[in-house]
Structure formats: C-alpha cells, structure tokens
C-alpha cells in the first residue's frame, strides 16, 4: 500500500466517523425528503445569494451563466461570490456581483487570522442562500457554505452532503456540460429562464491595449488570426510542445493564418524553450496577459488552438471557434459549449499527430469562417515589417 492510498483511506475513515456523528445527532437514519428544504424556500423573497466556485479560472467562467440568470429573474437580489485568486480576474468587471471573497488556500494555511477574517466577512453579509457550484462533492466548498451561516445551503447530493446542506439536489446520472450542471441547481429552486452563455466583462482600456497591440504587430491582416496557447495547467497534461512548434511552422509557411502565441504567468521556461524552436518564424508572441486582455485577444481571433485548459472556455463567451486538444477529462462535461469547435483527443494509447491537427485547422477554417466574421482586421493596412517573434509583455 503506497502513501497516497493510505492517505485516502484515512480520509474516508474520518468522513465516515463525521457522518455517523451527524446521523446520531439528527436521530439514527432519519427519514429524509429528497428536496426537503425546497418546500419552505421561496427564492423570490431571497435578498442575498452567495455563489461558491473557489477553484480554477475555467470553473469560474462556467459559473457566470448562473450569475446572469439569477440577476435576470431576481433583479433586486445581491450576489456575492467566493472564488479562487485566479477566478477573481474573471469576475473583476462583472456588474452583477456586489462583492467577491477570494479563497486564498495558501494564505489561509500560513495565516489563520486571514482565514478567520474571511469567515467573519462572509457571516457579516447575512446570506439568505448559498449555492455550491460543483457537481462533484467538494469538502472546501461545502465547508464554506456551512460556515457562511446562510439560511439555505444548496449543493448536489452526495454521501456526505447532508452534513453541510439543508437542500441537496439529487443527481440523475445524465452526462451534462458543467454549465448545465451549474444551472440545474437554480432551476431546481424555481429559476426557469436561464442564460447559458458565459460572461467575461472587460474594460475599455483593456480593449484599447489589445487593439493597439494587434495593429502594431500584425503583418498579414488579410489572413485569419490564429491564437495558440500551448501551455497547460499541469506538466504532462498538454499536447507535446514539439507538435505545437510543427503546427506554427506549417501554418505560417503556408499562409494558412497569422499565429499569435500566448504564454501565461509562470510559463517563462515554456516560452524560452519554444522560442528557441520557432525563432525564425513570423509569429507574434504575447506574454502574461490578464484573463480579460486574453478574452479580447481570443475575441479578435478567427480560431483558438489550445489544450483542455481554462482559457478554452473563453471561446464559449466570445463565440470564437476553437480546436481543443484533450489529453485528460471528459469532453462532454468540460468541452467547448455551444461554439464552433473540434475536440481532438491525445490519449496515451492514441497519440495525436501534428498532421491530424494541421489538416483539421485547414478544414475548420474553410468551413467555419464566413465573410461576416472573417479577417477582422482586413481593413487595417498598417504593417510592421519588424514584427518577427516580437515578444510583448502586458503588465
């Protein structure tokens, strides 16, 4: 038995003990109504709602339809949100959120006072209803909901959900996109008029920065702009870098499109390695944009090519076509949503070749780009003959 298996076993024993204590406190094996809390909840009278999605950027993007749907049906409600530090950049300009609480896991571990202030801040808002937007059980999200002291605490049903929630929504076993999983929670509470498209609000200054960047650096505005994000959240979960280099080479040499390579914070080593391999190619390089600047870039692009990462979900907000390479995960739940897309799988037993991706790009551009939305900078005759592998930092 390895350490990880032992650790998982100890956690399971602890949670079983907690569950047993909870049942004893409530009365041994009480009879439970499937949706017992909903009978006394009138969501129309709710004044303050807390949305909990405390993890990654992509998850935060997929939560935004819930925010807008609630505000559409309940225009006077005040919406609060618990998000991770990366997720804050997604909702920073969102006009529907009254206040965002940042869940800083590392900061809370090193500073218990910071954690205490976080909990007190939540409780001071006197939340009426909390929604934990996670189809899979999350200990952290469930604890945040419980500690918020919201009158009604809503989450998906799981073996341990009754410890934290007084409204737990049963799962029906159907495979849905995560956007639909999130919306199902509020639909179960009576919100029927939902909006499925994600939102990322950007400032006019951020739009101007990217507009200027593209005008300055584009050499061939008469051909499609193809954004490529080669990085992935964890090492080993993305398509091999050599394949991305080959794609860049063929796209530029054959004038299929003008390539803009995007590198996020912490990807300096990846940038340096890739630049050594594509040094002589006429490629635009963008480094360390914030998520809203990146949204503008993808909105201005004719196609995004990326791994299964959080920024892939930006395309669902701006409706830019995307070719997404999945090395892990379930495309039906986590893939692009209601946007022209190709999902290509690169599995250990079925490696994905650069030839396949290149042919998909050529075919996809041919059929997905119409005269209405193609070559968005075709009327811009400004050229920069020096823009070859021109690194540009956004700070």
Half-sphere exposure of 148 (CA within 13 A, CB side): 31
Query: Has residue 381 got a pLDDT over 50?
Result: no
Once rounded to an integer, what is the mean pLDDT over residues 17-44?
59
Query: Has residue 30 got a pLDDT over 70?
Result: no
pLDDT-based confidence at 329, cuts 50/70/90?
confident
Return the closest-CA partner of residue 83 out of 65, 61, 106: 61
332: burial class by Cβ within 10 Å (0-12, 13-18, 19+)? Answer: exposed
| DSSP line for 225-289 | EEEEE---SSTTSS--HHHHHHHHHHHHHTTS-EEEEEE-TT-HHHHHHHHHHSTTS--EEEES-
Domains in the chain: boundaries? 30-188, 204-393
Find out if CATH 3.30.565.10 is the number for domain 30-188.
no
What is the structure's pLDDT at 15?
A: 53
- How far apart CA 13 and CA 18 sit, in angstroms, is 9
The answer to whether the 30-188 and 204-393 domains have the same CATH topology is yes
- How far apart CA 58 and CA 350 sit, in angstroms, is 26
Find out if CATH 2.102.10.10 is the number for domain 204-393.
no
> Above pLDDT 90, what percent of the chain?
60
What is the structure's pLDDT at 86?
A: 85
What is the structure's pLDDT at 391?
A: 41
First vs last C-alpha separation in the chain: 48
Coil, strand, or helix at residue 144? helix
This prediction's pTM: 0.85
Q: What is the maximum alpha-carbon separation in the chain?
A: 76
Per-residue pLDDT of 133-183, as tens digits, reads: 999 888 899 999 999 999 999 999 988 888 899 898 999 889 999 999 999
Per-residue pLDDT of 278-314, as tens digits, reads: 866 668 888 878 899 999 999 999 999 999 999 999 9
241: burial class by Cβ within 10 Å (0-12, 13-18, 19+)? Answer: middle
């Amino acid at each position: 038995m390895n350490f990880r298996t032992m650790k998982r076993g100890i956690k399971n024993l602890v949670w079983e003990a907690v569950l047993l204590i909870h049942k004893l406190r409530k009365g041994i094996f009480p009879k439970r109504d499937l949706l017992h809390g909903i009978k006394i909840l009138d969501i129309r009278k709710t004044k303050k709602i807390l949305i909990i999605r405390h993890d990654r950027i992509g998850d935060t993007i997929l939560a935004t339809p819930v925010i807008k749907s609630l505000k559409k049906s309940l225009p006077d409600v005040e919406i609060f949100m618990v998000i991770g530090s990366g997720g804050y950049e997604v909702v920073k300009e969102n006009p529907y959120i009254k206040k965002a609480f940042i869940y800083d896991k590392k900061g809370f571990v090193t500073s218990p006072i910071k954690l205490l202030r976080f909990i007190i801040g939540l409780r001071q808002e006197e939340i009426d209803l909390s929604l934990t937007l996670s189809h899979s059980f999350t200990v952290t999200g469930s604890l945040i909901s419980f500690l918020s002291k919201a009158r009604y605490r809503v989450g998906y049903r799981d073996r341990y959900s009754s410890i934290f929630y007084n409204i737990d929504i049963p799962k029906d076993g159907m495979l849905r996109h995560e956007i639909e999983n999130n919306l199902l929670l509020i639909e179960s509470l009576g919100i029927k008029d939902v909006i499925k498209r994600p939102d990322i609000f950007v400032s006019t200054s951020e739009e101007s920065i990217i507009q200027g960047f593209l005008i300055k650096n584009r050499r061939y505005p008469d051909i499609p702009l193809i954004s490529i994000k080669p990085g992935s959240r964890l090492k080993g979960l993305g398509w091999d870098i050599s394949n991305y280099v080959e794609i860049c080479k063929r796209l530029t040499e054959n004038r299929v499109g003008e390539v803009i390579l995007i590198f996020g914070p912490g990807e300096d080593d990846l940038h340096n390695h890739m630049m050594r391999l594509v040094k002589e190619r006429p490629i635009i390089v963008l480094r360390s944009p914030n998520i809203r600047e990146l949204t503008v870039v993808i909105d201005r692009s004719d196609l995004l090519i990326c791994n299964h990462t959080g920024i892939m979900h930006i395309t669902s907000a701006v409706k830019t076509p995307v070719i997404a390479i999945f090395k892990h995960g379930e495309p039906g739940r986590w893939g692009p949503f209601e946007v022209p897309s190709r999902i290509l799988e690169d599995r250990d037993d079925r490696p994905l070749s650069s030839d396949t991706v290149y042919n998909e790009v050529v075919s996809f551009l041919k059929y997905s780009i119409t005269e209405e939305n193609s070559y968005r900078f075709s009327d811009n005759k400004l050229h920069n003959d020096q823009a070859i592998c021109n690194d540009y930092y956004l700070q």
